[in-house]
Structure 1
Amino acid sequence: MAANLWHKFSILIFTITTLLTLPIISIFSQSQPSNNTCNSIFISYTYNTGHPLPPNISSDPTLQPYQFKSTLTIINNGLQELKSWRVFLQFQNSELLVSASNANFLAQPNQGILVFGNYPTIDLKSAVQTAGDINQMSVIVNLLGTQFGVAAPDIPLPQTVTLANDGFICPSPAMNGNNELVLCCTEDPEYKSNVTLKDNDFSPYQNGDLIIMYDVIQTYDSNYWAHVTISNQNPIARLDNWRLSWDWTEEEFIYSMKGAYTSVVDTTDCLFGKQGQFYKDLDFSSALNCERRPTIIDLPNSKTNDVTLGSIPSCCRNGTILPSSMDLSRTKSAFLVQVYKMPPYLNRTILNPPQNWRINGTFGSEYYKCASPIRVSPSSFPDSSGLPVESSAFASWQVICNITKFKSQVPKCCVSFSSFYNTSIIPCNTCACGCSNSKTNGKNKVCNASAPAALLPFEALTIPPENRTKYVEIWAKMNRMHLSDPIPCEDNCGININWHLVSDYKGGWTARMTVLNWGELDFHDWFVAADLDTTISRFESAESVNGTALTGDEYGIVFLQDYSGKGYLNPVTVRNGRNPRKNFRVPGVIQSMISFSKKTNPGWNLGKGDGFPKKVYFSGEECSIPSFVPSSGYILPTKFFSVCSMVLLVIFIECLTGCCEAFCYNSGQLS
């Protein structure tokens, strides 16, 4: 009897447990979407392996670097084609992504990485379009990089993974095991694009730091003419001596150009290759380039009106593209290129744009990362007849390039801070623009690359860094400051910018900016962009230079440039090379006094560092900046404080005068 009751009780407990568990299992399964249950865009991020990298940092495990290998998978299970797929990865362990197979990537703020499609997997077709061909529906991206501080058995996973394409809703990723994040992104039924498309085959136009348009304006069976336009959209970036390159994917070659030229003129590969066998009657001596990856360079200004090489609007600018905040008429560069095609693409309607675009320049323009070209609605151009009508391109592609920098990239300029309430200059950071272990100071000692920069007296600002050793030592001794032995290394920057707070009064304040060129390059059309956070609302004027307060997304930036026609920052000069200890090098110098108002923010406090910029850019290059500002117990004078100070000063002078007279009288020096 007891055994029977116990048996029934056990069955009852099992039944209740099963019923309670079923909903939990159901909810848990829903939070872990799989490729089989996702009817839209399925994304998974899987950590595969990793191992420690040198050096071995036992003192602080959070700084220990580790290699990681992961796999990112995107599958289109929806009904529509996913054009120009993009996935955003929010890392959390200071990850540095080194490579991504079948994709490009772009560093974003706060450890973010944007991964986007590369040729030929730019778009992901649906199962309906491909009869279930998984190779056209999906892409697998193998990621290789470095992360810091996460050792086995812990798994370094991103904080979040999401689809970056517009018009999709993505939930938070769910864990699948201990090394995989999965999610299923669905179309947003309420999403409405603000872009009108003429055809479903076209993608919407996008924004970026640099936009390149590849417009086919004439097309024939065997060749076509493309109009290429490079436009700068970043208000504080520029391109100097730009070099543009791409890959031909279907054995095309460049026959002629206007407005630009190939860096190498060579048709040997065509003459002895498939192109020469097919185009037997073509004069290859007149062709320009047959490289699979040609490099395009701009023409000098002297070719602007050349009938053969120039005569293209916005061409021949010597490789310089300025920001719109500096000169709106010089934000573009354009050229024409004649491209010959190869079988089986000998049809005027079959057009394949080049892939794997890359553009870079010199000083501040080396760090562009370009996405794959996307097909957009045809561009319009002013008609060549001069009539007030527009002609449309036969086909247009857009390439977005954004500025990206890595921690290993060394700045080329630096900033020092000083103020009226502190007698010392906070110099540029030690080795701000790189250092050499063989670097020596005036006493032939190896300098200290890890020590913080030594404070300087004001008179040392225009002294060459290699001649400042004595100034540094004397100043440290006078102010009883610790000085490392050997002394800290120099900043090694060609461009030094000093930001000095000059005055502070009830209605406003002033700062002096001094740009010192210690390098051997002269800078034409230079500019300085100072990010002063919310100070922009109080910018009033700048002396000796043109000053502008940028608005919109760049709210808080003061843009400073030299007057038109005088925009040269001369290189360093040497007075007399016989005795470098006495005949110092003289830098190129530009100086400006900048005025600000406190009307909109009377609580502005210079004594707390409110007057120093958070970031400074010189001609597009972000400069190294000190980690602290001049300190003091400075308090803005009030009327009461000023009156009291004057009274005390008068009393002090009277007392001092009386003491001096008494002293002199007792000494017998006064009668």
Structure 2
Amino acid sequence: MYSKAGQYYKDLDFSQVMNCQKKPAISDLPPERKEDNATGKLPYCCKNGTLLPPSMDPWKARSMFQLQLRPQDVAVSFSAYYNNSAVPCNTCACGCNDIDTDTCNADCNPLLLPPDALLVPFKNRTLKAKAWAKQNHMPIPKKLPCPDNCGVSINWHVNTDYRDGWTARLTVFNWRELAFEDWFVAVDMGKAGPGYENVYSFNGTRVPPNNRTVMFQGLPGLNYLVGQVNGTNPLRDPAVPGKQQSVISFTKKNIHGLNIPGGDGFPTKLFFNGEECALPKHFPKKSSGHRGGMMSLVFAMAVAFALMMG
């Protein structure tokens, strides 16, 4: 404010300034601010950071921005039908600046989870994580890993694998109170990407020229990702995140050497509303007996039930 720039803009009302950093993070306003007298009522305003390519929707390819203290980050979790454990989002994937690291380990890998634990907030997973580790004879560190601290999380689940093709299930969880309007997810599937066939509850679009990346968004009128709400009994039940989910089918035709359990069934990069997400450091390995098949069914049924209740 007292620099040469501040003197130049001496007539500017600094009471409305939110940030004076030289390299601030930029994010769009949420749709609830469209009619705000101070920051809304502007053309292309308040789309929650969602920008689409002009070839998909020219109007949604533009937006107005405001400055904020830090970006909204996303992390990603992995699971598969052939393993009964889910690999959760990375520890401190979205930062641990506001976490007391005396009570948790910011450098420790996250504990593997039963798939249904992905449905509940991090603070409600501790008992499930410890019980799961004991049941599967996995070590439990004295100081547990810190949370991922992400407002949005995405689960990529390898659903099936057969001779001519395979399927995955994408689930988006919104742990924030604010909703996302017109969200989208872009997934780089590496050499498996050109085999994309169809998505059943979203819209899907291949990204040329190599078709390795597929963009997903909700169907018209169903592209509103609600925020987190209280459980049925707020004093007893954990909070319920906003969720959207779809199965995605791929073919193996004309793609040589594709090994789904070997890692080809998981994205190499994933973006939510244009922001690159933090991927787990490893993916589920194939386990004997395919015990994960039943857990996959339980997880799918739990998500479906939660969607109906929401």
Q: Same fold (TM over 0.5)?
A: yes
Q: CA deviation at 1:589?
A: 0.6
Q: What CA deviation, in whole Å up to 9, does each residue of 1:227-259 have, x standing for no partner? A: xxxxxxxxxxx97349xxxxxxxxxxxxxxxxx
Stretches of structure 2 lacking an aligned partner (at least 5 in a row):
1-25, 31-36, 290-310
Q: Which residue of 2 aligns with 1:299?
A: 41
Q: CA deviation digits over 1:345-367, x for unaligned, max 9?
A: xxxxxxxxxxxxxx85479xx9x
Q: 8 Å contact 2:45–2:65 — kept in the other structure?
A: no
Query: Counterparts of 1:467 and 1:565 in 2: how far apart (Å)?
Result: 32
2:106 corresponds to 1:318: no
Equivalent position of 1:560 in the other structure: 216
Q: Which residue of 1 aligns with 2:187?
A: 530
1:234-313 equivalent positions in 2, closer than 5 A: 240-241=28-29, 299-300=41-42
Q: Confirm or deny that 1:331 pairs with 2:119.
A: no
Flag the 1:438–1:537 CA change in 2: closer, same or farther, 3 A: closer
Mark the CA change 1:556 to 1:446 in structure 2 (over 3 Å): closer, same or farther. same
Equivalent pairs counted in the alignment come to 256
- Residue 587 of structure 1 aligns with an amino acid whose one-letter code is P
Q: What is residue 435 of structure 1 aligned with on the other side?
A: 96
Whether the 8 Å CA contact 1:326–1:561 is kept in 2: the answer is no
1:599 aligns with 2:256: no
Q: What residue is the counterpart of 2:110 in the other structure?
A: 453
Q: What is the letter of the counterpart of residue 514 of structure 1?
A: T
Deviation at 1:573, TM superposition (A): 0.3
**Alignment partners' CA distance in 1, 2:135 and 2:255:** 39
Q: 1:500 to 1:361 in 2, by over 3 A?
A: farther
Aligned to 1:419: 80
AA partner of residue 75 (structure 2): C
One-letter amino acid of the counterpart of residue 54, structure 2? S
SS of structure 2 residue aligned to 1:541: strand
CA offset at residue 521 of structure 1?
1.5
| 1:548 shift after superposition | 1.1
Judged with a 3 Å threshold, the aligned counterparts in structure 2 of structure 1 residues 450 and 543 are, in CA distance, closer, same or farther, namely same
| Distance in 2 of aligned mates of 1:298 and 1:485 | 49
Aligned: 1:495 with 2:149: no
- Displacement of 1:578 in angstroms is 4.9
Q: Does 1:570 align with 2:226?
A: yes
Q: What are the equivalent positions in structure 2 for 1:511-522 lying under 5 Å apart? A: 511-522=168-179
Cα deviation, 1:263-297, whole Å, max 9, x if unaligned, reads: 98xxxxxxxxxxxxxxxxxxxxxxxxxxxxxxxx7
Specify which of 132, 136, 139 is matched with residue 482 of structure 1.
139
Indicate if the aligned counterparts of 1:430 and 1:489 stay in contact, CA closer than 8 A.
yes
Question: 2:275 matched to which residue of 1?
Answer: 621
Q: What is the letter of the counterpart of residue 45 of structure 2?
A: N
Amino acid at match of 1:589: K
Contact kept? 2:92, 2:147, Cα under 8 Å: yes
Deviation at 1:415, TM superposition (A): 0.2
Following the alignment from structure 1 to structure 2, what is the Cα–Cα distance between the partners of residues 319 and 573? Answer: 22
Report how far residue 529 of structure 1 moved: 0.4
SS at match of 2:264: coil
Deviation at 1:532, TM superposition (A): 0.8
How far apart in 1 are the matches of 2:251 and 2:232?
45
Q: Deviations 1:295-314 (Å, cap 9, x if unpaired)?
A: xx7734xxxxxxxxxxxxxx
Unaligned runs of 5+ in 1: 1-237, 243-262, 265-296, 301-315, 334-358, 367-408, 636-671
Deviation at 1:535, TM superposition (A): 2.2
8 Å CA contact retained: 1:411, 1:432: no
Are the equivalent residues in 2 in contact too, given 1:410–1:434 (CA < 8 A)?
A: no
Change (3 A) 1:241 1:322: farther
Q: Give the counterpart of 1:471 among 128, 137, 140.
A: 128
Query: How much does 1:324 deviate?
Result: 2.6
CA distance in 1, matches of 2:44, 2:212: 31
* 3-state SS in 2 of match to 1:482: coil
Would the alpha carbon gap of residues 630 and 361 (structure 1) be closer, same or farther in structure 2, given more than 3 Å must change?
farther
Q: Post-superposition, which runs of at least 4 consecutive aligned residues in structure 1 deviate over 3 A? A: 297-300, 319-322, 359-363, 436-440
Distance change in 2, residues 1:634/1:621 (3 Å): farther
Mapped partners of 1:592, 1:600: distance in 2: 25
Q: What's 1:380 paired with?
A: none
Whether the 8 Å contact between 2:27 and 2:71 is mirrored in structure 1 is no
Q: Is the 8 A contact 1:532 1:615 kept in 2?
A: yes
Distance in 2 of aligned mates of 1:477 and 1:562: 39
What's the secondary structure of 1:609's corresponding residue?
Answer: helix
In 1, Cα distance between equivalents of 2:168 and 2:67: 30
Q: Pairwise CA RMSD of aligned residues? A: 2.9
State how far apart, in whole Å, the 2-side matches of 1:585 and 1:298 are.
30
- Equivalent residue, structure 1, for 2:264: 610
DSSP 3-state at the match of 2:221 = coil
From the two aligned structures, give the one with the greater strand fraction. Answer: 1
Instruction: Determine if contact 1:411/1:624 at 8 Å carries over to the other structure.
Output: no
1:577-602 CA-partner distances (Å, limit 9, x unpaired):
652xx311001010000000001114
Partners of 1:414 and 1:432 within 8 A in 2: yes
Bigger relative contact order (CA 8 A; separation at least 6): 2
Matched residue SS, 2:247: strand
Separation in 1, partners of 2:208, 2:104: 44
- Structure-2 change in CA distance of 1:423 and 1:567 (3 Å): same
**Matched residue SS, 2:285:** coil
Q: 1:332 to 1:601 in 2, by over 3 A?
A: same
- The percent of aligned pairs where both chains have the same amino acid is 42
Question: Contact (CA 8 Å) 1:534, 1:555: kept in 2 or not?
Answer: no
Deviations 1:619-652 (A, max 9, x none): 11111111111112679xxxxxxxxxxxxxxxxx
Assess, with a 3 A threshold, how the Cα gap between structure 1 residues 482 and 567 changes in structure 2: closer, same or farther: same
Is the contact made by 2:77 and 2:88 (CA closer than 8 Å) also made in structure 1?
A: yes
**Structure with max Cα Rg:** 1
The 3 A distance-change label for structure 1 pair 609 and 569 is same
Q: Specify the alignment match of 2:200 in structure 1.
A: 543
